Amino acid sequence: MRYEDSCVSEEINKYSEEHSSEEHPILQELTRQTHLRMINPRMISGKQQGLLLQILCKLKRPQNILEIGTFTAYSTIAMALALDDDAKITTIERNEENEDIILEFVEKAEQLHKIDLIIGDALEVIPELNKTWDLVFIDGDKREYEKYFDLVIDNVCTGGLIITDNVLWSGKVLIDSEIEKDEQTAAVDAFNKKVSKDSRVDSLLLPFRDGLMILVKR
């Protein structure tokens, strides 16, 4: 994510990074390799989001996590490093070209035993998964956010978390003309409206980086 996409200034982002825990060396290396090897490296979660996911995992101690949108596995590995040894992350990635870098870094981080990588379309894969989730991290195609929510909500346990990234979409959700002309902005805005009114969850739209929607299943 570029700082331009964040809802706080570059200076505040830098200060906040400097006054947070160190990033794990494998995640630093993964960030470097993602920038060298991937076409769209700005999709990576990055240090602050990784740390937030780790803190939530340490507090919640989820046993079963579902992640939609692995990319190069930054968030997957960040969460795995914070989980109990017998916890599992099922992570779904549509782009099969990402598989090599994902497995390379999951192995380097010695987290393979916690991770079940599924290469496929989350919209087709999720209905086939017969599991209850303690934490779901939604970070796939913005246009599909509402569908992901609908597919997972019944399988999230009471007190379970659904965390969704990029819900401010570089602030475009505030601009009517963007909502009218841009499919992704419209979809993110529709998702925010839908889940914040859904009586099955408590919701907090956190203005952190590009916006994180935090939902807790009632």
Ligand X SMILES: C[S@@+](CC[C@H](N)C(=O)[O-])C[C@H]1O[C@@H](n2cnc3c(N)ncnc32)[C@H](O)[C@@H]1O
- Of the two residues 99 and 178, which places its CB atom closer to ligand X in the complex? 99
The number of beta carbons lying within 10 Å of the beta carbon of residue 187 is 19
> What does the CA dihedral 202, 205, 211, 217 come to, rounded to 10 degrees?
0
- Give least dist CB 5 to ligand X, A: 11
Residue among 159 and 183 whose Cβ is closer to ligand X: 183
> Which residue number places its CB atom closest to ligand X?
69
Residue with tokens 């979660």: 45
Select 119 or 175, whichever has its Cβ closest to ligand X.
119
Min dist CB 104 to ligand X, Å, is: 15
Query: Residue 158 CB, nearest distance to ligand X (Å)?
Result: 25
Q: Which is nearer to ligand X, 28 or 159 (CB)?
A: 28
Instruction: Kindly tell me which of 144 and 189 has the beta carbon lying closer to ligand X.
Output: 144
Cα–Cα distance for residue pair 72/147, rounded to 1 Å: 23
- Name the residues that contact ligand X, by CB under 6 A: 43-45, 69, 71-72, 74-75, 92-95, 98, 121-123, 139-141, 144
The distance of closest approach from Cβ of residue 53 to ligand X in the complex, given in angstroms and rounded to an integer, is 8
Residue closer to ligand X by CB (options 183, 202) is: 183
